[in-house]
Amino acid sequence: VNDVTGLRDPEMRAVVRAAGAGAVIMHMQGEPSTMQRAPEYVDVVGEVSDWLRRRVDEVIADGVAAASVAIDPGIGFGKTSAHNLALLGALRRFAEMGPPLLVGLSRKRFIGDITGAPVDDRLPGSLTALVWCIWRGASILRVHDVRASVAAVRMATALAGASA
C-alpha cells in the first residue's frame, strides 16, 4: 500500500495490519489539492526525517509489522525544486533510518525546472536522478520508463563494482 497520507488514517493502518501488506509511508506537506501552493520549511530535511520517524513509530506501535514498512520523502509532494534537491542530497540520512527507502521522481516537475524539458522529454534527467538515488541508498524506485531505468541501474551497478 503506497499511501500518500503517510498512513495517518487508523482505518488504513488496520487494513494494512489485517492484510499483512507492505506499506509505504510517504511525506506530503498539506493536501493534494493545496500542497504546491506555497510549500514552506525551516529545515526540509530535518522536518521530513522527523515526521517519517514519528509516522514509522506510530504505525509499528499500531501493530503493522516493522519489516513491512518502507519510507518515502515525498519528492514533489508539497515541496519546491529547492526542497526536492535538499532531500535528494540527504538521501543517505533517510536510508540510514532503517526501513527501506522508496523514491519516486520519474518525470517530476523539478526535473523539468532544472533541465527545461517538457514532461515527455524528462527521461535523461529522470535516469540521472535514479542513479543518484541508488548510489545514495534508495532500494525502491517508482519509475515510468522501466526498460531504460533497469538498463541505467545495471550500468551504474557495473560502474560502481568496477571502481572498487
The CA distance from 4 to 79, in Å, is 14
Across residues 33-54, what is the average pLDDT?
A: 90
Catalytically active residues are 108, 142
Q: Are 52 and 95 in contact (CB under 8 A)?
A: no
| E-only strand ranges, the chain | 2-3, 23-26, 69-72, 102-104, 140-142
Report how far apart, in Å, the C-alpha atoms of 95 and of each of 19, 92, 102, 127, 141 are. Answer: 26, 5, 9, 20, 13
> pLDDT by residue (tens digit) across 58-67?
999 999 999 9
Q: Mean pLDDT score of the chain, rounded to an integer?
A: 93
At 106, the pLDDT band (50, 70, 90 cuts) reads very high
Report how far apart, in Å, the C-alpha atoms of 106 and of each of 90, 109, 131 are. Answer: 18, 9, 11
Q: Are 111 and 149 in contact (CB under 8 A)?
A: no
